[in-house]
């Protein structure tokens, strides 16, 4: 029986990955992290979604392990640059994915699970260096050496943009779950329901999601969208005077990763396959890793 552990926050990306894992593995568990994030409502939504999916869900507390981020410090500007690295967004949490993956691999090891699924993406993201494929591959090598086990980190969204992620959710039959139940807004606001979900366009997470929804409707459902279906153009322009992370600084950070950039460009130039790569098999080594195949 193939097993997988999903890094699960209750957001759009991790929820898509959760249901992707359910289609590709026989047994799935989900693991969340309480690291003092301001948008703690995401963990409440994660618990609800996991229950709907019938997946065991546990939250690990990480009080004091990470910080110095606008996601954890109410006094920091969510739209500003990081105080320790001008090229990184203020929402960057130093060491977050490294710690998440380290704790998850230890947790998984003790349950006989050696496949971890995460929503990291370097195609359409907020400029976080620990979301790049080169980091994921380095972690796979390190954790496998540290445990003498063949750990694999699956990142099915690595070369998808937000529009493609919405399309993958549609193909998985969970688009309404994504729109109604997931939470991505950095400020934890669920007071407003938009066509793309809950949040306000005053932070990069919601702006990215809203732009992705508009592109998804335009690219995959041309002619079927109405004015009620799509965000108004003036809504999407809210906050355009604020810096949009993931621009020139992102290119500079990723410049040495030429193969990954080429694969990302190829993935963006054509729609993703409507069918997921083959189902998992009984052989651990045979579990498909579609993100690696795209990157080769």
211-245 residue pLDDT tens: 999 999 999 998 654 434 444 433 433 333 323 33
Number of domains the chain is built from: 1
pLDDT in tens, 49-86: 999 999 999 999 877 656 545 455 555 545 545 455 55
Q: What is the pLDDT of residue 237?
A: 33
Q: Is residue 245 a part of any domain in this protein?
A: yes
Q: Is residue 295 a part of any domain in this protein?
A: no
Q: Is residue 224 a part of any domain in this protein?
A: yes
Q: What is the pLDDT of residue 232?
A: 41
Confidence of residue 123 (pLDDT cuts 50, 70, 90): confident
Q: Are 178 and 153 in contact (CB under 8 A)?
A: no
Q: Is residue 76 a part of any domain in this protein?
A: yes
What pTM value is reported for the model? 0.70
Confidence of residue 203 (pLDDT cuts 50, 70, 90): confident
Mean pLDDT over the full length of the chain? 75
127 against 151, higher pLDDT = 151
Q: Is residue 296 a part of any domain in this protein?
A: no
For 37, the domain range is 3-289
pLDDT in tens, 135-162: 999 999 999 999 999 999 999 999 999 9
Assign residue 165 the CATH number of its domain: 3.40.50.620
Q: What is the pLDDT of residue 39?
A: 65
45 against 84, higher pLDDT = 45
Q: Is residue 252 a part of any domain in this protein?
A: yes
């Amino acid at each position: 029986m193939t097993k997988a552990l999903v890094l699960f926050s209750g957001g759009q990306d991790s929820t898509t990955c959760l249901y992707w894992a359910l289609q590709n593995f026989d047994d799935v568990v989900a693991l969340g992290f309480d690291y003092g994030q301001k948008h703690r409502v995401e963990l409440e939504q994660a618990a609800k979604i996991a229950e709907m999916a019938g997946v065991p869900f546990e939250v690990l507390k990480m009080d004091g392990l990470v910080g110095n981020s606008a996601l954890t410090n109410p006094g920091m500007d969510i739209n500003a640059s990081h105080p320790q690295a001008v090229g990184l967004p203020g929402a960057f949490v130093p060491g977050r994915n490294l710690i998440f993956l380290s704790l998850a691999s230890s947790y998984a090891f003790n349950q006989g699970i050696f496949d971890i699924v995460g929503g990291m993406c370097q195609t359409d993201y907020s400029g976080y260096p620990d979301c790049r494929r080169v980091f994921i591959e380095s972690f796979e090598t390190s954790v496998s050496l540290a445990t003498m086990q063949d750990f694999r980190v699956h990142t099915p969204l690595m070369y998808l943009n937000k529009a493609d992620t919405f399309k993958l959710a549609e193909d998985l039959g969970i688009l309404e779950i994504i729109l109604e139940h997931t939470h991505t807004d950095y400020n934890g606001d669920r007071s407003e329901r938009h066509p793309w979900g809950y949040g306000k366009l005053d932070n990069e997470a919601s702006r990215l999601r809203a732009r992705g929804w508009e592109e998804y409707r335009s690219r995959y459902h041309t002619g079927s969208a109405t004015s009620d279906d799509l965000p108004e153009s003036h809504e999407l322009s809210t906050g355009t005077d604020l810096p949009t992370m993931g621009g020139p600084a992102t290119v500079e950070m990723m410049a040495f990763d030429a193969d990954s950039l080429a694969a990302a460009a190829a993935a963006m130039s054509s729609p993703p396959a409507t069918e997921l790569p083959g189902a998992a098999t009984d052989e651990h080594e045979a579990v498909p890793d579609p993100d690696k195949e795209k990157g080769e």
